[in-house]
Amino acid sequence: MQKTFTGPFETLLVESTHGGQAAKVVINRPTSLNALNREILEELRDALTGISEAREVRVITIEGAGEKAFVAGADISQMRALDAAGARQFALLGQEVTTLLESMPQIVIAKVRGFALGGGCELAMACDILLASNTAKFGQPEVNLGLIPGFGGTQRLARRVGLPVALDMICSGRGRTLNADEALKVGLVSRVLDSEKMDAETQALIEAILAAGPEAVRRCKRLVRDSLTMDLAVGLSSEAESFGDCWSAGEASEGMTAFLEKRPATFKSKRSQP
């Protein structure tokens, strides 16, 4: 059977939703609290690569199976058998997945219930929008195993929450785990949602994104992501150039005309670079 972005996969449940405009990815190892092993990371890489190339897909949600964990970390039983070279390759695979989440043109929403620890926290914060239920717990406890975060945590966490909180979480390990409200306060998550309302709120967010101009949303993701590593003057120049390109793409005409005519805009999805 030919594999598409919906599978078949052994460790993931992947489906197309919202008439093909969205994709849902579920990490499906609930008995192991969805701990990341090589197979999951390889399948995530393959699924996300396929989704990134699907022109019709505009939004992706990522979650863990069950209520206890988004991802409780990497699979320690598998990591214990690695040598130094194998550990580097495992880290590079995890980094490949997290970098893909940041660079793909779709908006990626992490939907976090329960534990998001270690590799789970790293996976979540590589996503564009991070929704946390009131049961969520975030941490980087690798130092308690004599390890460091390997999937981007030492680089991304400070960009999310600032240097003091990042060092506190990473260097004290289990001594600094954030609940959902704390994670919101420091800027790690986008929203905290009541667990019972999380599915409905996620659907509302997806629909809000799908109602916007597809090209405009893609441009915004890329420009905001680039702003983290781009000089302000260069970033402003890129923003002005892309702002002008909105007129060339045709979305701006439809969006403004619809606004003036007091009707919903009808956008045609086209993939291009910001």
> What is the pLDDT at residue 250?
81
Q: pTM of the prediction?
A: 0.93
> What is the pLDDT at residue 126?
97
Query: Tens of pLDDT along 183-212?
Result: 999 999 999 999 999 999 999 999 999 999
Query: Tens of pLDDT along 31-59?
Result: 999 999 999 999 999 999 999 999 899 99
Query: Tens of pLDDT along 140-191?
Result: 999 999 999 999 999 999 999 999 999 999 999 999 999 999 999 999 999 9
Query: Tens of pLDDT along 83-140?
Result: 999 999 999 999 999 999 999 999 999 999 999 999 999 999 999 999 999 999 999 9
Architecture per CATH, 214-260: Orthogonal Bundle (1.10)
Segment 248-257 mean pLDDT = 89
Which of 8-22, 126-140, 239-253 has the least mean pLDDT? Answer: 239-253
Pick 6 or 116 by higher pLDDT.
116
List where CATH 1.10.12.10 sits in the chain.
Answer: 214-260
User: Is it the case that residue 60 has pLDDT exceeding 80?
Assistant: yes
Catalytic residue numbers, as ranges: 122, 142
- Distance, CA of 153 to CA of 172 (rounded, Å): 14
> What is the pLDDT at residue 11?
96
The half-sphere exposure of 224 on its side-chain side, counting CA atoms within 13 A, is 12
Q: Which residues contact 266 (CB under 8 A, 6 or more apart)?
A: 254, 258
Segment 3-28 mean pLDDT = 90
> What is the pLDDT at residue 1?
37
Exposure string of 241-251, with b = 16+ CB inside 10 Å and e = fewer, is ebeebbeebeb
- pLDDT bin (cut points 50, 70, 90) of residue 7 is confident
> What is the pLDDT at residue 4?
63
Q: Which residues contact 23 (CB under 8 A, 6 or more apart)?
A: 5, 6, 14, 15, 16, 17, 51, 54, 57, 59, 60, 61, 106
Task: List, in sequence order, the alpha helices (H) in the chain.
Answer: 38-52, 76-79, 84-103, 119-125, 153-161, 163-172, 180-186, 198-210, 214-227, 232-249, 251-260
- Distance, CA of 26 to CA of 15 (rounded, Å): 9
Written as six digits, the tokens of 98 are 């997290």
List where CATH 3.90.226.10 sits in the chain.
Answer: 12-210
User: Is it the case that residue 273 has pLDDT exceeding 80?
Assistant: no
Q: Considering the domain 12-210 in this protein, what is its CATH number?
A: 3.90.226.10
